[in-house]
Chain A
Amino acid sequence: MRSKIFSYNRSLVMQNVRNVGWIGIVHLLLLFAAIPLRMLMIYTNQKNGYSPVIRNVFELSNAFQGMIAFTVPVLLAIFVFRYLQTKRSVDYMHSLPLRRETLFWQQMLFGVLLLVIPVIVTMLVAALLCQLPIENMHISAGDLVWWTGEMLLMELFVFSASVLVGMLTGISVLQGVFAYILFLFPAGISVLILMNMRYMLSGFSADYYLSANLERIVPFVRFVELVDKPLAAFEMVRYALAVVVCCVLSIWLYKRRHSEAAGQAIAFPVLQPVFSFGVTFCFMLVGGLYFGETQRSIGWILFGYVAFSLVGFFIASAIIEKTWRIFHRWKEYAIFIVAIMVVGSFTRFDITGYEKRQPALSDIKRVYFGESVYQFERQAEENYISYVQSDQFLQTTQNIKNVYAFHRQLIEDRPTPFAFGENIRSVVIGYVLKNGEKMVRTYSIPIDEYKPFYEAIMESREYKHNYYLLLQDNVSPIRQITLRTETKTVQIADPKQIESFLAVLKTELKEEPFTEMISPIDEWGTIELLQSDGGQMQLSWKKSYARIDAWLKQHGLLSKARVTADDVAYAIVVKNDARTPLYDLVENPKFVKELETRTDVLRITDKRQLDECLQKASSYETKSRYIIAFYRTAHSEPEWHVMDEETLPSLIRKQLP
């Protein structure tokens, strides 16, 4: 006698083959197109001399395989459990003498087979094709097995997650939509919450949390990365675990799911408020983020919260009720608003004391001070050394105190998170405590108001030492120095000259005020230092380096190294009261042409004055009140600069008030 289980299986399998079998065929065809066909294409293309380097199966068609892995299993999950989503079929299937568990595992098994068989067949065909002499293709048997494993794991993950979603909804279209939302949800909600926290809490460092490889938890992104980064053991365990959890949860939900859930957007009534409030909340965060980033004002953010949450609530309710007429649900929205106001004010009024928190001075091992948070966690990865390091750890008692005091001041001032502009700089303050705990805060602040704090820290010996790579002790000897400007280049190769130049340069760096460190007037060009180990260091040759100028003059190199007054025939200074950006003015041929004949301009020919102008001309700021054009010879194409009002030469101030 045939076993009962077997005969049930046979009849259901036959139905599945008839109704869903095509997905297996499509899966196989797509995989064939992505792998064996691609191999054949590369093989025949060799004649044309084109043969890309292929190190593993993913490299053949990375994105295409990703598309397969993230569409076929979703489609399969929808079709295999399609019977659950229409009234007639679910009633029929559930009236049969089959338990839900039997049905579920039966369908799951069938779905898994439609994923596994095509992948394995593809692997075998690819193995055969690997025998072809294809240049630059290095796919080993191990690669193929590894690919099979990774591909299957990803597909099973997508399949089981989509099945789980199918248990939660009673509409096939929504099953597809929700499945993709589920894949994006963990990363998406993290970004939304973190970004919005910045508006609520002064000093909140969203970047710090966002830097933790958030894109890695988007499965599709991870899939595309498989080409370079195979799944690590812990990731495989994680995905496998996810598959098991999804299956267990699915059958658990299926047993509790009512047949009449077919056609309902949310299959379990208990989850309806979760869904509608969840959607409302996400929309609210999106609205806040959008207006926060574009308008940068709390008023607009609140508007964004209210407007978008309304839209979200409307959409969620419309999905649940399957009609647009949902205005009677305003009470639920009111509940949401009240709840969110309570939570919002908890955050805003900082009941946890987040904003004011500062470790005890005596507990601090070292402090982190800089512009961005990225170096805070990445101290171990020292493969890239920059010549100028503004983000760094400080550990002298004095600097710990300085940073601490700065932070204290910021806590008191509570600077607005919306500040932006030319004089706004972001400051990141981090603490590493003696017990290993860490804490980090980020603020955007106007530099000018905090000058003394900056000076104390950035001009300290320790900071400077870390800031300029050149000042560090382990720098290998310098063999050659190149001063490079747009038009001139000078090289210093004599060891004695190098030594004396470096001494002057180091003094410049040590004595440099912090304003020059973060916003120099302008630079002449770059100073390239060629090291004995073949390394190269580059520093900017700032106009403020007067000692360098003196040294060059003394060695008769100044005029060879950079533009001097001798190179300039004359200069014309013009007032720009409208503060039109320089790049717009220069684009205007009429303005350029008329400049030389205008009477309301100042023409400078005196060498000493030209020299002063060259020293003070800047090209960083663009909307200055004074614009200067240097002419090498009469009527030649001038070089455009602006003059800062504060450092304006007295001549110009007098003549063009």
Chain B
Amino acid sequence: MIDVRSVRKEFADIEAVKEVSLHVARGSIYGLLGSNGAGKTTLLKMLAGIYKQDRGDIFIGGEPVFENTNVKQKLLFLPDALYFFPQATIRQMAQFYRDLYPSWSEERFTRLQEAFPLALDKKIHRMSKGMQRQAAFWLAFSVKPEVMILDEPLDGLDAVMRQKVKNLLVQEVAERQMTVIISSHNLREVEDLCDHIGILHQGEIVLEKEMDELKTDVHKIQVAFRGGIPSSFLTGLDAVYKEQRGSVLLCIVRGQKEKVEAYIHQFEPVIFDVLPLTLEEIFVYEMGGVGYAIENILV
């Protein structure tokens, strides 16, 4: 659904996005992770047709997005800094969206009022930050877009509202095969939501994985041998991390679980456990090579 090919974008003398390619399939939720200034917002604004990329191509549903009304009618972008017309009420904004998006559903708009307890005729500017975001989601869901691009969308929402919005998103994806790309600097926030994850660091995608694949491909193991660690033990393993605690060797390895287990059994370990791994840990180990203070990315 979303196809990004070798896209670059420069601002003055800063290269905000360099050579990014990614693909998001229809009906999937793609989490774009990265620290502040990684280039997430820039990339999303290019996807939304706001910025024009300096190089590369962006296709949504097979069509270039920039200045393409057809594509943009099916696409909704929710920026991190929200904008509403000065002095506008939700009712007025709804009228505006109704005129602009053919897919607007009046029925859905009415139904969603239950989820978002906001006054229709109150000026949006007078509302709190969290309420403004609710209003934005209310309008966005009522448009029933095919693609939703969300930039740090959960900021400012309380825990209950967060869950509600997530549920709505998942529901839309399940029911209508909506495609979502969602950015965050907080992995935990979107961990339960996304089926794909990409990490953007200094304008480049340093990691792109399917969520399931991530969890099955990396293993944390704990082994101990009777006369110390055999010298050839590590050579046959793709270890991204190792740590020796007394006679116990703790390491994180990549590879198919069965193969790894078979390999280790050859050495007849005294202790051998495969430990559970959090998503966060996976990233920490995956990204060790990038030389970045990983904690900052994942909070």
A96-B72 contact given A15-B85, A18-B87, A91-B79, CB 8 Å threshold: yes
State how many angstroms separate the Cβ of B13 from the closest Cβ of chain A.
10
Q: Which of A18, A19, A90, A98 contacts B100 (CB 8 A)?
A: A98
Contact B81 A259 (CB under 8 A): no
Interface residues on A, range: 20 to 34
5 contacts between A and B (CB under 8 A): A11-B99, A19-B87, A91-B83, A94-B49, A259-B50
Contact A99 B67 (CB under 8 A): yes
Q: Which of B52, B67, B77, B88 contacts A258 (CB 8 A)?
A: B52
Q: Mark B108-133, 1 if CB is under 8 A from A, else 0.
A: 00000000000000000000000000
CA A493 – CA B244 in complex, angstroms? 134
Contact B49 A95 (CB under 8 A): yes
Residue A436 lies at the interface, judged by CB distance under 8 Å to chain B: no
Contact B99 A10 (CB under 8 A): yes
Residue A38 lies at the interface, judged by CB distance under 8 Å to chain B: no
CA A10 – CA B52 in complex, angstroms? 28
Q: How many contacts A-B (CB < 8 Å)? A: 68
A260-B11 contact given A19-B86, A94-B49, CB 8 Å threshold: yes
Residue A209 lies at the interface, judged by CB distance under 8 Å to chain B: no
Q: Mark A17-30, 1 if CB is under 8 A from B, else 0.
A: 01100000000000
Q: How would you classify the secondary structure of chain A's contact residues: helix, strand, loop or mixed?
A: helix
Besides A91-B45, A96-B100, 15 new A-B residue pairs in contact (Cβ under 8 A), listed by A number = A7-B99, A8-B99, A11-B96, A11-B98, A15-B96, A18-B88, A91-B50, A91-B81, A95-B48, A95-B79, A97-B69, A97-B70, A258-B52, A259-B50, A260-B51
Q: Which of B12, B67, B70, B100 contacts A11 (CB 8 A)?
A: B100
Residue A327 lies at the interface, judged by CB distance under 8 Å to chain B: no
State how many angstroms separate the Cβ of A126 from the closest Cβ of chain B.
34
Residue B186 lies at the interface, judged by CB distance under 8 Å to chain A: no
CA A87 – CA B79 in complex, angstroms? 11
Q: Mark A90-131, 1 if CB is under 8 A from B, else 0.
A: 111011111110000000000000000000000000000000
Smallest Cβ-Cβ distance to A257: which chain B residue:
B52
Contact B87 A88 (CB under 8 A): no
CA A272 – CA B193 in complex, angstroms? 45
State how many angstroms separate the Cβ of B72 from the closest Cβ of chain A.
4
Residue A89 lies at the interface, judged by CB distance under 8 Å to chain B: yes
Smallest Cβ-Cβ distance to B9: which chain A residue:
A260
CA A26 – CA B82 in complex, angstroms? 31
Residue B296 lies at the interface, judged by CB distance under 8 Å to chain A: no
State how many angstroms separate the Cβ of A652 from the closest Cβ of chain B.
80
Residue A273 lies at the interface, judged by CB distance under 8 Å to chain B: no
Contact A18 B85 (CB under 8 A): yes
Residue A269 lies at the interface, judged by CB distance under 8 Å to chain B: yes
Contact A89 B45 (CB under 8 A): no
Q: Which residues of B contact A14 (CB under 8 A)?
A: 92, 95-96
A259-B45 contact given A94-B50, A100-B67, A269-B12, CB 8 Å threshold: yes
State how many angstroms separate the Cβ of A478 from the closest Cβ of chain B.
80
CA A90 – CA B77 in complex, angstroms? 13
State how many angstroms separate the Cβ of A487 from the closest Cβ of chain B.
79
Q: Which of B48, B81, B100 contacts A88 (CB 8 A)?
A: B81
State how many angstroms separate the Cβ of B68 from the closest Cβ of chain A.
8
Q: Which residues of B contact A96 (CB under 8 A)?
A: 72, 100
Of B48, B77, B85, B88, the most chain A CB neighbours within 10 A belong to B85
State how many angstroms separate the Cβ of A324 from the closest Cβ of chain B.
18
A-B pairs with lowest CB-CB distance, top 6:
A11-B99, A97-B72, A92-B83, A88-B83, A97-B73, A95-B77
Q: Which residues of B contact A15 (CB under 8 A)?
A: 85, 88, 96
Smallest Cβ-Cβ distance to A100: which chain B residue:
B67
Q: Which residues of A contact B73 (CB under 8 A)?
A: 97
Contact A8 B49 (CB under 8 A): no
Contact A95 B72 (CB under 8 A): yes
Q: Which residues of B contact A87 (CB under 8 A)?
A: 81
Give the residues from 57 to 83 in chain A that come closer than 8 angstroms, CB to CB, to chain B. Answer: none
Smallest Cβ-Cβ distance to A2: which chain B residue:
B99
Residue B272 lies at the interface, judged by CB distance under 8 Å to chain A: no
Contact B51 A259 (CB under 8 A): yes
Give the residues from 1 to 15 in chain A that come closer than 8 angstroms, CB to CB, to chain B. Answer: 7-8, 10-11, 14-15
Q: Which residues of A contact B87 (CB under 8 A)?
A: 18-19
CA A91 – CA B82 in complex, angstroms? 10
Of B52, B81, B83, the most chain A CB neighbours within 10 A belong to B83
A97-B52 contact given A11-B95, A92-B83, A259-B45, CB 8 Å threshold: no
State how many angstroms separate the Cβ of A172 from the closest Cβ of chain B.
14
CA A10 – CA B79 in complex, angstroms? 25
Q: Which residues of A contact B77 (CB under 8 A)?
A: 95
Residue B285 lies at the interface, judged by CB distance under 8 Å to chain A: no
Give the residues from 249 to 274 in chain B that come closer than 8 angstroms, CB to CB, to chain A. Answer: none
Smallest Cβ-Cβ distance to A256: which chain B residue:
B52
CA A269 – CA B69 in complex, angstroms? 27
Q: Which residues of A contact B52 (CB under 8 A)?
A: 258
